[in-house]
Amino acid sequence: MTDYNYGVQPPQYDQKGPSYGHPPPVVQSQPMGGTTVIVQQAPQVVQRPWNSGLFDCFDDFAICLCGTFCGLCLACQVASDMNESVCVPCCVPAPLTVLRTKWRTQNHIEGSIMNDCLLEACCGPCAHCQLAREVKQAKSAQAFNLN
């Protein structure tokens, strides 16, 4: 049985394999003295800082009060605003780490899973309020763009 290619190139993968959830790498063909060289370049993702600092709790006093006196209510609201189940804060171990990591990766924010975990353990209410301010700001920006 003969396999005819008809000019279709197979997918190009780097040594790590395909990157899931990311656009495919840019593949360019450059002629070089009669030989075609394939150059592969992965897209660069620029990470940004958080919109507010960890200890800027009083920037949004309502979030600060809710995070201080009713953290579970704020956690359920943030999970809902992130299109997650409101049960995440009650049923998932380390829910703040999970939600912060999801938000950071989706929005290309600086940080790491270890940093998120340490923030939950050491500065949980402040980290939670920071995430809530970030999500609230993104929602209001999205609503502004729809109008």
Instruction: Tell me the domain boundaries of the chain.
Output: 57-146
pLDDT over 90, % of the chain? 47
Q: How many residues does the chain have?
A: 147
pLDDT in tens, 106-123: 999 999 999 999 999 999
Per the model's pLDDT, the better-predicted residue between 9 and 49 turns out to be 49
| Confidence band of 18 (pLDDT split at 50, 70, 90) | very low
pLDDT (0 to 100) of residue 84: 92
Distance of alpha carbon 57 from alpha carbon 66, whole angstroms = 11
Q: Are 62 and 129 in contact (CB under 8 A)?
A: no
Q: Please tell me the least confidently modeled range out of 19-23, 34-38, 135-139, 141-145.
A: 19-23
Task: Find, among 143, 147, 66, 130, the residue nearest to 96 by Cα.
Answer: 130
pLDDT at 5 over 80: no
SS3 content of the chain, % helix, strand, coil (to 5): 50, 10, 35
What integer is the mean pLDDT of 137-143? 84
The pLDDT-based confidence of 32 (bands split at 50, 70, 90) is: low
pTM for this prediction: 0.67
Q: How far apart are CA 144 and CA 85, in angstroms?
A: 25
pLDDT at 53: 87
Contact 54, 130 (CB under 8 A): yes
pLDDT, tens only, 49-96: 888 888 888 888 999 999 889 989 999 999 999 999 999 999 999 999
